[in-house]
Every structure is written in C-alpha cells, then in structure tokens.
Amino acid sequence: MIRFYDVIKKKRDGLSLSTEEINYFVRGTVDHSIPDYQLTAFLMAIFFRGMDERETADLTMAMVKSGTQIDLNLPKAVDKHSTGGVADTTTLIVAPIVAACGVPVAKMSGRGLGHTGGTVDKLESIPGFSTALNMEQFRMQVAKIGLSIISATAEVAPADKVLYGLRDVTATIDSIPLIASSIMSKKLAAGATHIVLDVKFGRGAFMAHFDDAKRLARTMIDIGTMLGRPTTVLLTSMDAPLGSSIGNALEIEEAIAILTGQGGSADLRAVSLALSREMILHYYPDMTVEDALQLASEVLETGRAYAKFKEMVEAQGGDLTHGLPQAKFSATVRAASSGFVQAIDPLLLGSMSVEIGAGRHKKGDLIDYTAGFVVAVRIGDRVEQGAPLLQVYSGHAVIGEYLERLATAFTICDQQVETAAWRIERLT
C-alpha cells in the first residue's frame, strides 16, 4: 500500500517516482483523498527536485486519464497552444487560415486570467457568439465547415485545475515539469494527435528568459515524442505586445483587419503565418516548409481565410453585420518628448488593461468587452512630442493619473533604435 508521506519524502530526496506512485498522486488529487497540505508539500518537492522525462510523461498521462478524453473522430487532429502573451490574437487568425487549407480545426480554448487575454472572451465579444457547444454540436460543426472554437469543459484534465489552483498560491508555478504536463495533458485529453506550441519568452511572457523557454519547449516535445504525439514548438519573443490591440473586441477587430488585408500588426501576421505553416505541415507531411507557408499566405491574401472565419461566426450564432460593441469613452496617451521608441512594456500594458475591465483579477470577474488599448507605435518608430502613443477605450472615463502610468510603458530615447524581424525559433 502506498503512503503519500513516503512519496513526498522520496521526491524531496531527489529520487525518481514510479508510474504507480504518480497515478496515486493524481487520483488522490481528483478525489480529494490527499489533503491540500500534502499536495502542496509534494508540489514544492517537484519544484526543487524536478522530474525526469519518464516521470513527466507519466504525470501528463495520469492527468489526461483523470477526466474525459475526447474523441474528435478525425484521422488527424492538429491543435495549437500559446503559453500566453499580450495582444496575442494568433488563434483567431491561425484557425481560419488552417481550416481554409483543408486542415480541420476542433479547438477548445480558455478564458483570460491576469495580464494575458483568452480566446473565448475575445470571441464572446462578437454579439450572439456562443462558445458553449456540446460535444455533438462541436463535432458536427467541424465535420460540416472544418472549424469550431469552444470553451474548454471542466471534465477535461480536472487534476490540472486542482493542481494549478494550489500552485498559484504556493509559489510553485514556475516548474517546467508541472507547466509542461499541465499544457500537454489538456491538449491530449482534448483529442490532439499532433500539437503545435507557441512558447513565449521575454518581458511579457510566462518565461522571461529564452533558455528557460527553450527548456520548457524541449520538455513538451519530449512528452509528445514519448506519448506518440508529434509536437512542434515555435519560440517567439514577447518583449513588446505582439499585436497593436489589447482587449477583447479590439483584438477581434485587429484579427479581422489581418484576415481582410486591411491592416493590423505585421508581427502578429508573421507569427500567425508561421504557426499556420506548422499546423499544415503536420496534416500534410509531404509538403515542404516553403510550400506550407505559401499555401497559408495564399488563403490569407485571397480572402478564403476570412470567409472561413465568417462561416464559423455564423455557425456559432455570431452576428458581425452591425459591428462589434464600442466603448463609451476614449482617451489618448501622448509622447512627453521627441525621439525613438526604444521599448514598450507588455506586462504593464496587460496589467493595466485588466484595471479598466478588459480582463479578470480572479475567475468569475465580469469583463468589459469594449475596454482596452490600441498601440499607435512600434519599437524603432520616430515620434514627435505630443504624438499619440496609445488610445485607451473603456466603459467609463479614465483619470489623468491612470494615463500617466500608462505613459511609463513607453521608453523614448534620443538615439535611433535597431529593429529586427520578430524573433521566431523553430524546434521539432
């Protein structure tokens, strides 16, 4: 008989756990037979001692089996996940591009929490759009139009929900095996046979340092390999907001601008095409990287991707004919001096967007779909004193002190700033 005290002690001493011991831990997490104080002690032991590849894969599969495992009835189910960022609207661009290329997209997404936005919240800013499809409706829509995005169900990897809640309040979030198993378990339980991951690094990312992000990426690739789920990772920079818009309806507007060729951030477009390319390559393995990118670019430029987006919106009850909800109030943040934009702090902007209602401090908080920012400049731009840096949108008026704090997100210097293409590194 397993005593969880002995399991904690074993991991505390840096020893490898058996598959049976890991399964016992996950079962006890879900049925609450292991008390929280022992679970948190165990999580701290993992935080300091880590887990090897086999342990991490075992933990992932135990979490998959802790709840419902979805069968999408597809020969291949290619899923995409981002570790979270500011103005990261890629799913809303990638999914219709890929679906327009003939790759079925059956995606479960989450809501925003903290400074990062959630795809479900963004879609629900479209009047009438429903992300609460049941599994039969979900499968039928994918079979009919090749694309559906719904909110994740509580039955998928329930162990992860319990453990994440404990990690969040015990300073054990930043553990690579725990992060990797959390992400991969939800992808596998949701029916993914092939996985594309966008792992962020930089000031606004979960992993601030590139080397840490790369270790996380390698860990998830190893899990996918061990469990027979081919996995590709793109490491992408999050030292500045990816898109120009931060906030739910505003990010929908930017996604539509890119899908229709009417504007939007060039960096957001580049990352979206790179992720689309990887999903296409998983579905059509005989394609070259160049051909997959060309196909993605073609469906974007010809309007086929936007047509697919509209088809999904209509299928899920959404109505774009009268536009998106508009904010009652707006204000402008202006440059205090002339010069070159050296830095834009994504973490500060993400956090301050939550303050005006664009996100949540805790689950259950109501959000203002109209609230958020549109950033008027990119790093390296020349600005004159008094030029607009950012436009604020909100359901209520914002005060001068708030605008002054927003202005500190922008660093302006005298010297011209060297800029490069948005950094993307590919790992397989």
Q: How far apart are CA 54 and CA 22, in angstroms?
A: 11
Under 8 Å between Cβ of 150 and 79: no
Task: Report the candidate in 240, 300, 310, 308 with the shortest Cα–Cα distance to residue 274.
Answer: 300
Task: Report the candidate in 96, 123, 97 with the shortest Cα–Cα distance to residue 109.
Answer: 123
Q: How far apart are CA 127 and CA 148, in angstroms?
A: 17
DSSP-assigned letter for residue 113: B
Q: How far apart are CA 187 and CA 172, in angstroms?
A: 22
DSSP-assigned letter for residue 362: S
Under 8 Å between Cβ of 187 and 149: no
Q: Is 214 a catalytic residue?
A: no
Under 8 Å between Cβ of 329 and 398: yes
Instruction: From the candidates 58, 88, 121, 160, give the one annotated as an active-site residue.
Output: 160
Instruction: From the candidates 11, 65, 139, 167, give the one annotated as an active-site residue.
Output: 167
Scanning the structure block, which residue is given the tokens 């204000």? 331
Q: Report residue 238 as tokens.
A: 């999050």
Q: Is 361 a catalytic residue?
A: no
Angle between helix 90-100 and helix 266-283 axes, rounded to 10 deg: 40
Under 8 Å between Cβ of 412 and 390: no
Q: How far apart are CA 171 and CA 84, in angstroms?
A: 19
Q: How far apart are CA 116 and CA 91, in angstroms?
A: 14
Q: Is 3 a catalytic residue?
A: no
Task: Report the candidate in 244, 130, 114, 144 with the shortest Cα–Cα distance to residue 253.
Answer: 244
* 131-151 per-residue burial string, b: 16 or more CB within 10 A, e: under 16: bebeeeebbebbeebbbbbbb
Q: Is 186 a catalytic residue?
A: yes
Q: How far apart are CA 72 and CA 145, in angstroms?
A: 14
Q: How far apart are CA 89 and CA 95, in angstroms?
A: 11
Reported as half-sphere exposure (CB side, CA atoms, 13 A), residue 389 has a value of 31
Instruction: From the candidates 81, 194, 229, 308, give the one annotated as an active-site residue.
Output: 81
Q: Is 167 a catalytic residue?
A: yes
Sign of the C-alpha dihedral computed for residues 106, 110, 111 and 116 taken in this order: negative
Instruction: From the candidates 107, 186, 277, 308, give the one annotated as an active-site residue.
Output: 186
Reported as half-sphere exposure (CB side, CA atoms, 13 A), residue 207 has a value of 22
Positions marked active-site:
81, 160, 167, 182, 186
